[in-house]
Structure 1
Amino acid sequence: MEATPHTSPVATHEEAATAESGGIHDRGLLAIAIFKMAKSAFFFCVGMGAIHLLHKDLGDEVLKLAKILHRDPESKIVTLVLEKVDLVDAHRLKQLGIGTFAYSALALTEGIGLLLERTWAEFLTLGLTVSFLPWEIYELIRHATWVKAGLFAINLAVLGYLIWLLERKGTFAKARQKWFHAR
């Protein structure tokens, strides 16, 4: 397939790969893409929540939430949350909002790239997944929960699948070949 003036050779190669598969999306990549986009939506909502809480009394907000959830305001959990919320100021909320919006944008980029079956997105997801593993292992050792263990297992499955897929497609071999011929 020849590259036209409006397409790059990489895009043409990826389009050819999709055409060869009959236009059917890789189900594993589709599942990972949906997971990444759901994660993006979650962190976007967390960022919006942080921005919404700016210039509000967080203690009052916790008490309102406890009332909505029919929790005793003097219970151990509400008291613990109230103690921790006192440590959060407007600057920290801004940092949290900016950080979660940035992570949301990154997860959305991964998800869209994987949905379009772009090799760069597979490598981006592979790199980001590997980079978070030490932190996840540390958190599991420090205080293991079922949620942390489940997320760790999902990330290991994503990592394994992407390595398998990139090996199957011969992408690692092509990257090594380009890297060593360019030097």
Structure 2
Amino acid sequence: MKKRPFGLVAIVVYKSFTALLLMVTAIALLLALKNYQFLKEFSDNYVLEGKAIIIDLLLDKFVNLNPKTLAFSGFAAAIYAIVTAIEAIGLWYEQRWAHILVLCLVGISIPLEIYEIIQGISLIKLSIFLVNVAVFLYLLINFPKHQTRS
């Protein structure tokens, strides 16, 4: 079995984790759409002391969205999860197209992340930005050379 560079393995793990989180988000959004009325009733009837406020705040984020927004967000998250999983698989097999795809998608996101940080810095925003810059630079520096077949 071929030994892969640590940086590449780290990126594949990061991309796989991101794809998993996106898929969980997509499923949650689509279930929220399916159970829209149930979530509203659950939110209204949840009465455990100390927890009701937290549950209400979390569910209000979903319940206050209209069903079209939930559907669009759910499908968008699912598509992005699939693309991210494809990136991870392509990188694992050290495919040139995967390097290009990740470089393009991460490169496009960096200016948006800078804008988000300017709007209001947070540890999460800064962490994601730094990880994406590191991924971009690693893949740029270690871009696979064109191989000719013999």
Q: Provide TM-score, normalisation by structure 2.
A: 0.83
Give the Cα–Cα distance (whole angstroms) in 1 for the partners of residues 46 and 18 of structure 2.
Answer: 24
Which structure 1 segments of 5+ residues have no match?
1-21, 175-183
Greater relative contact order structure (CA < 8 Å, 6+ sep): 2
Aligned partners of 2:134, 2:94: CA distance in 1, in Å? 18
Matched, 1:161 2:138: yes
Query: Residue 59 of structure 1: CA displacement?
Result: 3.8
Runs of 4+ in 1 over 4 A off after TM superposition: 61-68, 77-81
Question: In structure 2, what is the Cα distance between the partners aligned to 1:100 and 1:154?
Answer: 20
Q: Deviations over 1:152-177 (max 9, x none)?
A: 000000011011101xx5x3xx5xxx
CA RMSD, aligned part only?
A: 2.8
Segment drifting more, 26-35 vs 94-103: 26-35
Paired residues for 1:72-151 under 5 Å = 72-73=52-53, 78=56, 82=60, 84-85=61-62, 87-151=64-128
Q: CA deviation at 1:130?
A: 0.3
Q: Tell me the CA shift for residue 115 of structure 1.
A: 0.8
Identity %: 25
Unaligned runs of 5+ in 2: none
Deviation digits for residues 29-54 of structure 1 (CA, Å, limit 9, x no counterpart): 11101110111111101111011111
Number of residue pairs the alignment of both structures matches: 145
Find the structure with the greater CA-based Rg: 1
